[in-house]
Structure 1
Amino acid sequence: MKFAKKYEEYMQGREKELPVVELKKLKKILKRCRREYHAHQREGKEGVHGGDCSVENKCTGSCPVCEGSFFPFLLKEMSAVVGCFNERAKKLLELHLSSGFKKYLMWFGSKSHRNHAALIQEGKDLVTYAIINSIAMRKILKKYDKVHYSKQGQAFKTQAQSLHIEILQSPWLSELMALYINLRQSKSSKKAVMELFGDCSLTFDDDKPVLSCSLFDSMRVDISLTCPICLDIVFDPVSLTCGHIFCYTCCCTAASVTIVDGLNSAHSKAKCPLCRREEVYTGAVHLDELNILLSRSCPEYWEKRLETERIERVRQIKEHWQSQCRAFVGI
Structure 2
Amino acid sequence: MKFCKKYEEYLRGQEKKLKLPGFQFKRLKKILKNCSRDFQSQHRHGDGDCSSVAVQSCPDHCSVCDGTFFPFLLKEMSGIVGCFNQRAQELLELHLASGFRKYLLWFKGKLERKLESDHSVLIQEGNELVNYAMMNAIAVRKILKKYDKIHYSKQGQTFKSKAQSNHVEILQSPWLSELIAFHINLKETKHKSERISSAFEKCSLAITDGSPSLTCELFDSVKLDIDLTCSICLDTVFDPVSLACGHIFCYMCACSAASVTIVNGLKSANPKAKCPLCREAGVYEGAIHLEELSILLHRSCPEYWEKRLQTERAERVQQAKEHWESMSRAFMGV
Provide the TM-score with structure 2 as the length reference: 0.88
CA displacement 1:60-96 (0-9 Å, x = unmatched): 4111111222112111211110111011101100000
Provide the rounded CA distance (Å) in 1 between the counterparts of 2:276 and 2:210. 23
Indicate how the Cα distance of structure 1 residues 278 and 198 shifts in structure 2: closer, same or farther if over 3 A, else same: same
CA RMSD, 1 decimal: 2.5
8 Å Cα contact 1:255-1:266 kept in structure 2: yes
Indicate how the Cα distance of structure 1 residues 328 and 101 shifts in structure 2: closer, same or farther if over 3 A, else same: closer
How far off is 1:264 after superposition? 0.5
How many residues were matched structurally?
323
* Greater CA drift, 78-87 or 8-17: 8-17
In structure 2, the residue matched to 1:253 is 256
How far off is 1:146 after superposition? 2.9
Provide the rounded CA distance (Å) in 2 between the counterparts of 1:291 and 1:112. 27
How far off is 1:57 after superposition? 2.8
Quote the sequence identity (%): 63
In structure 1, the residue matched to 2:176 is 173
Provide the rounded CA distance (Å) in 1 between the counterparts of 2:151 and 2:199. 41
* Greater CA drift, 17-26 or 292-301: 17-26
Provide the TM-score with structure 1 as the length reference: 0.89
Unaligned runs of 5+ in 2: 48-52
Which runs of structure 2 are paired with 1:114-125 in the superposition (5 Å)? 115-125=118-128
* Greater CA drift, 316-325 or 117-126: 316-325
8 Å Cα contact 1:211-1:222 kept in structure 2: yes
In structure 1, the residue matched to 2:33 is 31
Provide the rounded CA distance (Å) in 2 between the counterparts of 1:3 and 1:145. 17
How far off is 1:297 after superposition? 0.5
Which runs of structure 2 are paired with 1:202-241 in the superposition (5 Å)? 202-241=205-244
8 Å Cα contact 1:60-1:149 kept in structure 2: no
In structure 1, the residue matched to 2:303 is 300
Indicate how the Cα distance of structure 1 residues 6 and 215 shifts in structure 2: closer, same or farther if over 3 A, else same: farther
Matched, 1:309 2:308: no
1:110 corresponds to which of 94, 105, 112: 112
Give the counterpart letter for 1:30 in structure 2.
L
Which runs of structure 2 are paired with 1:252-271 in the superposition (5 Å)? 252-271=255-274
* Greater CA drift, 212-221 or 250-259: 212-221
Which runs of structure 2 are paired with 1:25-64 in the superposition (5 Å)? 25-42=27-44, 57-64=56-63
How far off is 1:111 after superposition? 3.3
In structure 2, the residue matched to 1:48 is none
* Greater CA drift, 190-199 or 20-29: 190-199
Provide the rounded CA distance (Å) in 2 between the counterparts of 1:185 and 1:142. 39
Provide the rounded CA distance (Å) in 2 between the counterparts of 1:196 and 1:135. 15
How far off is 1:15 after superposition? 5.2
Provide the rounded CA distance (Å) in 2 between the counterparts of 1:202 and 1:327. 47
Unaligned runs of 5+ in 1: 46-53
CA displacement 1:30-86 (0-9 Å, x = unmatched): 1221112112211559xxxxxxxx998332411111122211211121111011101
* Greater CA drift, 257-266 or 189-198: 189-198
